[in-house]
């Protein structure tokens, strides 16, 4: 059996509840109208009989019944002497005159189709002679009223239940419309693979609207990350193609020149250099892929930043000398931070490599590191080619290079260094900024907390 939809379930529940409430109301009415109406009639009957007592006069040894009304408000009054013989008044037609009198008691008498309410009062103290006063009223009018009320209810209640069911169904139908829209959008995306589709509800600001907005927002993020992923794959393949073509070309050349050892060695050297470059590129790509999936493991330990900085500078001195660049340092001793050593080395290496790569022949580089409160502040400055202000915001993007043609062929990077630098800094809870003037030089400033603060998972 097909499971019931939430719409149907709500409507059935709601209608069932209304029907139950209506049945309870009907039950209460059937049970209580009778009592209320009879009770009310009983009170009227007693009042009427008591009023009659007031109206009877005893003048000159006889009763004066002139003021009496023997029929009022449906109540018939009859007067009996103390021997219970009727002396005045009237009994309603169909009411038996042989019904015995009981003082101060209400009796319900049935004769034929008619029910009667009878009240008798024996009055012995008001006049020299005692009298019985009897009031009789038909109960049928009350019973008819009750039947009428119940009949109206029985006819009206199914209509009310139907109305409630229809209204409930309309409301749930309207409330669930956005849900169908959400389901339809999801199905559309699934069948077409088009992530640009959105639900875009009217903005009623209710819970479902919130859900749709969250869904749209999630689709935005998903679309963006798919775009990034595609871009990343295409850029990565592009970057890998260049060294691979060089390797292929030199392998072919080496094979042709296999009898010429000098040419073969040259070719092998180029192949070696390109392979190293590819290894560096692949390791950068791997790191970036891991940061994307938040699986990059940082091994936090206490490290001496001053020592690491000096080590990195030593390692790059030869490269700097090849361009006759002098490295000036102002590094405070024993700057201790809790950090991932490999990442910190990579951070300094990338920044220094850039300073050399984009530095000027016979130029200089200044490296400074010092403690300020709970952070180590660092700066790496060069007097190289600089970066135009228009390009500055983009340098942190993956694969971005201001002008790839301005580097020598054997020293081409992939434009990944700074995006890795930014991720390392942020994952340690620090900050980095850049100032640069084309033709004059570039200054990178960064801060690294002594103890890593909770970092935001930034995507480069
Ligand atoms: N010190 C600097 N002086 C001038 N331009 C710079 C400097 N540092 C970075 N840039 C510019 O920013 C771009 C991005 O730098 P990034 O380090 O990310 O990539 P790359 O050095 O080109 O390649 P990779 O670092 O992956 O080997 C560089 O291509 C360069 O144009
Ligand atoms: Mg670089």
Measured in whole angstroms, the distance separating CA 87 from the mean position of its chain's CA atoms is 87
Residue ranges covered by each domain of the chain: 6-148, 207-289, 297-449
Calculate how far, in angstroms, residue 384's C-alpha sits from the geometric centre of ligand 1: 12
422 Cβ contact list (under 8 Å, min separation 6):
396, 432, 458, 460
Write out the CATH class of domain 6-148.
alpha beta
Q: Give the long-range contacts of residues 310-319, CB within 8 A, separation 24 or more.
A: 311/345, 312/345, 312/348, 312/349, 312/352, 313/352, 313/367, 315/349, 316/349, 316/352, 316/353, 316/356, 319/353, 319/356
Closest atom of ligand 1 to CA, residue 281: 26
143 Cβ contact list (under 8 Å, min separation 6):
34, 115
In this predicted structure, what is the pLDDT of residue 50? 92
How far apart, in whole angstroms, are the C-alpha atoms of residue 347 and residue 425? Answer: 8
Calculate how far, in angstroms, residue 413's C-alpha sits from the geometric centre of ligand 1: 8
Which residue's CA is the nearest one to ligand 1's atom 28? 401
Calculate how far, in angstroms, residue 432's C-alpha sits from the geometric centre of ligand 1: 15
In this predicted structure, what is the pLDDT of residue 456? 47
Calculate how far, in angstroms, residue 384's C-alpha sits from the geometric centre of ligand 2: 14
Ligand 1 cavity residues, CB under 6 Å: 350, 354-355, 358, 382, 384-387, 395, 400-402, 413-419, 442
Its pTM surpasses 0.75? no
Kindly list the averaged pLDDT for each block of 10 residues, start to end, along the chain of length 460: 80 89 89 85 92 87 86 90 89 86 90 88 88 91 84 90 89 84 89 87 78 89 88 86 92 92 93 91 87 79 97 96 96 96 95 95 97 96 95 92 64 84 94 96 97 60
Which residue's CA is the nearest one to ligand 1's atom 19? 415
In this predicted structure, what is the pLDDT of residue 252? 94
Residue to probe by mutation, ligand 1, list 232, 418, 425, most atoms within 8 Å of CB: 418
Write out the CATH class of domain 207-289.
mainly alpha
Write out the CATH class of domain 297-449.
alpha beta
Instruction: Give the Å distances, CA to CA, from 198 to 60, 91, 110, 219, 223.
Output: 105, 86, 78, 7, 11
């Amino acid at each position: 059996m097909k499971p019931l939809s939430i719409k149907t379930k709500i409507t059935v529940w709601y209608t069932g509840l209304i029907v139950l409430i209506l049945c309870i109301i009907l039950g209460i009415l059937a049970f209580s109208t009778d009592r209320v109406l009879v009770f009310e009639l009983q009170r009227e009957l007693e009042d009427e009989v008591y009023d009659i007592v007031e109206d009877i006069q005893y003048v000159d040894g006889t009763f004066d019944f002139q003021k009496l009304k023997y029929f009022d408000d449906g109540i018939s009054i009859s007067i009996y002497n103390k021997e219970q013989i009727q002396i005045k008044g009237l009994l309603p037609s169909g009411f038996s005159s042989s019904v015995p009198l009981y003082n101060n008691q209400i009796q319900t008498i049935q004769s034929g189709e008619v029910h009667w309410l009878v009240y008798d009062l024996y009055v012995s103290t008001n006049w020299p002679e005692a009298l019985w006063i009897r009031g009789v009223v038909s109960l049928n009018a009350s019973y008819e009223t009750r039947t009428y009320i119940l009949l109206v209810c029985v006819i009206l209640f199914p209509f009310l239940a139907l109305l409630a069911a229809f209204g409930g169904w309309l409301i749930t139908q309207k409330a669930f419309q956005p849900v169908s829209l959400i389901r339809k959008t999801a199905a559309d995306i699934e069948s077409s693979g088009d992530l640009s589709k959105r639900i875009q509800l009217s903005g009623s600001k209710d819970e479902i609207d919130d859900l749709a907005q969250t869904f749209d927002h999630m689709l935005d993020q998903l679309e963006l990350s798919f775009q990034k992923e595609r871009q990343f794959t295409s850029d990565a393949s592009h970057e890998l193609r260049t060294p691979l073509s060089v390797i292929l070309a030199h392998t072919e050349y080496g094979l042709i020149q296999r009898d010429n050892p000098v040419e073969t060695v040259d070719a092998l050297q180029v192949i070696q250099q390109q392979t190293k470059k590819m290894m560096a590129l692949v390791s950068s790509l791997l790191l970036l892929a891991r940061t994307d999936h938040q699986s990059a493991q940082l091994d936090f330990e206490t490290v001496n930043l001053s020592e690491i900085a000096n080590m990195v500078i030593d390692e790059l001195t030869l490269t700097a000398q090849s361009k006759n660049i002098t490295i000036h340092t102002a590094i405070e001793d024993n700057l201790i931070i809790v950090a991932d050593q490999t990442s910190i080395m990579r951070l300094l290496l990338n920044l220094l490599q850039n300073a050399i790569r984009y530095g000027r022949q016979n130029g200089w580089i200044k490296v400074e590191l010092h403690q300020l409160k709970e952070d180590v502040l660092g700066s790496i400055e060069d007097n190289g080619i600089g970066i135009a202000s228009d390009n500055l915001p983009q340098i942190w993007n993956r694969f971005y290079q201001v002008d790839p043609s301005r580097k020598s062929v054997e020293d081409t990077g992939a434009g990944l260094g700074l995006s890795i630098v930014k991720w390392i800094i942020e994952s340690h809870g620090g900050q980095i900024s850049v100032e640069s003037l084309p033709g004059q030089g570039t200054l990178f400033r960064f801060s690294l907390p002594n103890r890593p603060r909770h970092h935001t998972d930034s995507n480069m």
